């Protein structure tokens, strides 16, 4: 097998033993495995040859790009790990058509920098963007903090090229905004976490780069008031709200306790603290007046004052400069660091309808206190999307307790019409939840599709489906 792989990819691009060490665990080292070999093909034809070989020999094959996932989606015990890192070309940027054509191994931040040089953005943005690659972004349908404005990864993709489990290349590299020619296979492969094929390239949409941001911390009496504010801001700005991030008082307390130099967002403590960011692309919104304030900021300030008058906003602080903006974002971005301070934790990446976030949190707090009295929760939420990261801090290390907590909180999610997996995907970690919670007819349909397209079950086996 190793020799055959070397004849396809070249002597230097097949790793095994110690050389494959970097591909034998995820980046949090929560999962570890021993791959059969790691191959690093340089083009789609080589990927196709490797997949054909895997299919003929019924060898498991696991695609890996940036390996920054949190759900164990790249676990490859005894598998050929197929790394896309050498397929890292930005093939084309067409500014007037607002598209880029990229290979799966392009690092997200590199794509972002390349298009920004042309006054455009590729909107997808999240913590791991300096290592995460386009292939993984698409395979997991990555989310992030500006989904509210630009959508999830799948909404940013016009076309893909993929190698199917048989080794055939499916070229649907459409650059089109309207294309109704049969079943939408692009959306089927996006988010399938490499279980239906390996995405090797994509056509992605670009957007104009904002010229100005208005960023504020806002305290509201309730989440319902916050949602009213969000809707009003969307109306007033034509949908220019980029981020609407909720931090409850408990999060602010943890932030103050854990992060050196952390400061209160307001003079008085509040329960509902929201980081709001609005962006404008138009010069007339972005040109500062005599006092240095942009019209975008001034408009935002007026609206906040109006809400303050009616009591629907309790306090607000606008970032007056980039340093203040960075401080606001740093508070939000400390979430992972804060969560990790506790040794016995369980993170629920869930989504509920936007008007049910408050209900979920209240019920989850009540339930988690019953399941593990004395436990606490670390909570942040992409409120504009209804996406909540609810991390339980247990009183003790107890797997049975953790399982009970998982099921009890899932009960609430499902009762509210929510999803047990919002933006981190299923991988291996949430397969039990898929079995328990996903609509049975949907699960059976997924299994039928998987079996039809990958009858030998070689593509990233043991992921996504129960």
Tell which one of 94, 370, 396, 404 touches a second copy (CB under 8 A): 94
CB of 415 to a second copy, least distance (A): 13
CB-wise, 29 or 177, nearer to a second copy? 177
461 touching a second copy, by CB under 8 A? no
Of 11-19, 166-174, 314-322, 363-371, the segment contacting a second copy by CB under 8 A is 166-174
287 touching a second copy, by CB under 8 A? no
**The tokens 């220019």 sit on which residue?**
240
Tell which one of 43, 109, 174, 359 touches a second copy (CB under 8 A): 174
Binding mask 216-245 for a second copy (x = CB under 8 A): --------x--xx--x--xxxxxxx-----
Contacts of 84 (CB under 8 A, 6+ apart): 41, 47, 63, 64, 65, 103, 104, 105, 133, 135, 198, 200
442 touching a second copy, by CB under 8 A? yes
**Positive or negative: CA dihedral 59, 65, 66, 70:** negative
Cβ–Cβ contacts within 10 Å for residue 392, how many?
A: 26
446 touching a second copy, by CB under 8 A? yes
272 touching a second copy, by CB under 8 A? no
Q: Which residues are 392's β-sheet partners?
A: 346, 377
Tell which one of 316, 426, 458, 459 touches a second copy (CB under 8 A): 426
CB-wise, 332 or 438, nearer to a second copy? 438
**What number of helices (H) and strands (E) belong to the chain?**
16, 18
383 touching a second copy, by CB under 8 A? no
CB-wise, 331 or 424, nearer to a second copy? 424
The Cα–Cα gap between 157 and 99 comes to 9
Cα distances (angstroms) measured from residue 345 to each of 8, 247, 255, 375, 394: 44, 19, 17, 10, 6
Tell which one of 294, 385, 410, 459 touches a second copy (CB under 8 A): 385
- Orientation angle between helical segments 295-310 and 223-237, nearest 10 degrees: 140
List binders of a second copy among 52-81 (CB under 8 A): none
Tell which one of 3, 11, 96, 309 touches a second copy (CB under 8 A): 96
Tell which one of 16, 24, 271, 281 touches a second copy (CB under 8 A): 281
Q: What angle do CA 248, 249, 253 make, to 5 degrees?
A: 125
The Cα–Cα gap between 136 and 105 comes to 9
Tell which one of 382, 401, 460, 461 touches a second copy (CB under 8 A): 382
Of 180-188, 243-251, 325-333, 359-367, the segment contacting a second copy by CB under 8 A is 180-188
CB-wise, 307 or 394, nearer to a second copy? 307
CB-wise, 58 or 181, nearer to a second copy? 181
Burial 176-201 (b: 16+ CB within 10 A, else e): eeeeeeeeebbeebbbbbbbbbbbbb
State both tokens at 55. 């299919």
Tell which one of 14, 108, 124, 465 touches a second copy (CB under 8 A): 465
Of 145, 19, 26, 138, give the one whose Cα is nearest residue 429: 26
CB of 222 to a second copy, least distance (A): 12
188 touching a second copy, by CB under 8 A? yes
The Cα–Cα gap between 332 and 328 comes to 7
Of 80-88, 123-131, 152-160, 389-397, the segment contacting a second copy by CB under 8 A is 152-160
Kindly state the number of chain residues that form the binding site for a second copy, as judged by CB under 8 A: 98
CB-wise, 20 or 62, nearer to a second copy? 62
**Positive or negative: CA dihedral 83, 89, 91, 93:** positive
């Amino acid at each position: 097998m190793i020799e055959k792989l070397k004849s396809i990819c070249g002597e230097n691009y097949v790793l095994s033993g110690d050389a494959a060490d970097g591909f034998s665990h995820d980046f949090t080292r929560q999962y570890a495995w021993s791959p059969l070999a790691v191959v690093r093909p340089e083009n789609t034809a080589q990927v196709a040859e490797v997949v054909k070989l895997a299919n003929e020999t019924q060898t498991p094959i696991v695609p890996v790009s940036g390996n920054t996932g949190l759900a164990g989606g790249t676990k490859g015990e005894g598998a050929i790990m197929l790394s896309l890192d050498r397929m890292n070309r930005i093939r084309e940027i067409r500014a007037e058509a607002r598209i880029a054509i990229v290979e799966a191994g392009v690092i997200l931040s590199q794509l972002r920098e390349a298009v920004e040089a042309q006054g455009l953005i590729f909107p997808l943005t999240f913590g791991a963007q300096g290592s995460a690659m386009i292939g993984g972004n698409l395979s997991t349908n990555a989310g992030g903090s500006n989904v509210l404005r630009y959508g999830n990864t799948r909404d940013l993709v016009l076309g893909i090229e993929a190698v199917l489990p048989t080794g055939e290349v499916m070229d649907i590299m459409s650059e089109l905004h309207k294309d109704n020619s049969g079943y939408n296979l692009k959306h089927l492969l996006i988010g399938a976490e490499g279980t239906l094929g390996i995405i090797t390239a994509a056509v992605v949409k670009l957007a104009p780069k904002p010229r100005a941001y208005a960023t504020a911390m806002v305290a509201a009496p309730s989440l319902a008031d916050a949602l009213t504010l969000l809707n009003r801001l969307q109306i007033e700005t034509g949908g220019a709200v980029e981020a609407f991030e909720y931090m409850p008082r408990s999060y602010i307390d943890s932030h103050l306790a854990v992060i050196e130099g952390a400061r209160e967002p307001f003079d008085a403590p509040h329960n509902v603290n929201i980081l709001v960011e609005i962006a404008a692309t138009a010069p007339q919104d972005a040109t500062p007046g005599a006092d240095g304030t942009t019209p975008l900021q001034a408009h935002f300030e007026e609206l906040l004052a109006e809400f303050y008058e009616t009591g629907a906003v309790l306090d607000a602080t606008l970032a007056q400069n980039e340093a203040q903006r960075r401080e606001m974002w740093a508070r939000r971005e400390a979430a992972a660091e804060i969560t990790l301070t506790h040794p016995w934790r369980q993170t629920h990446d869930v989504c509920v309808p936007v008007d049910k976030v408050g209900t979920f949190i209240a019920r989850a707090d009540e339930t988690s206190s019953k399941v593990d009295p004395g436990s606490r929760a670390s909570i942040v939420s992409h409120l504009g999307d209804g996406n909540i990261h609810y991390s339980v801090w247990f009183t003790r290390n107890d797997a049975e307790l953790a399982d009970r907590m998982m099921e009890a909180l899932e009960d609430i999610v499902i009762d509210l019409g929510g999803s047990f997996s919002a933006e981190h995907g299923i991988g291996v970690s949430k397969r039990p939840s898929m079995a328990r919670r996903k609509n049975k007819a949907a699960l059976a349909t997924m299994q039928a599709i998987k079996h039809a397209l990958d009858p030998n079950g070689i593509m990233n086996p043991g992921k996504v489906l129960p």
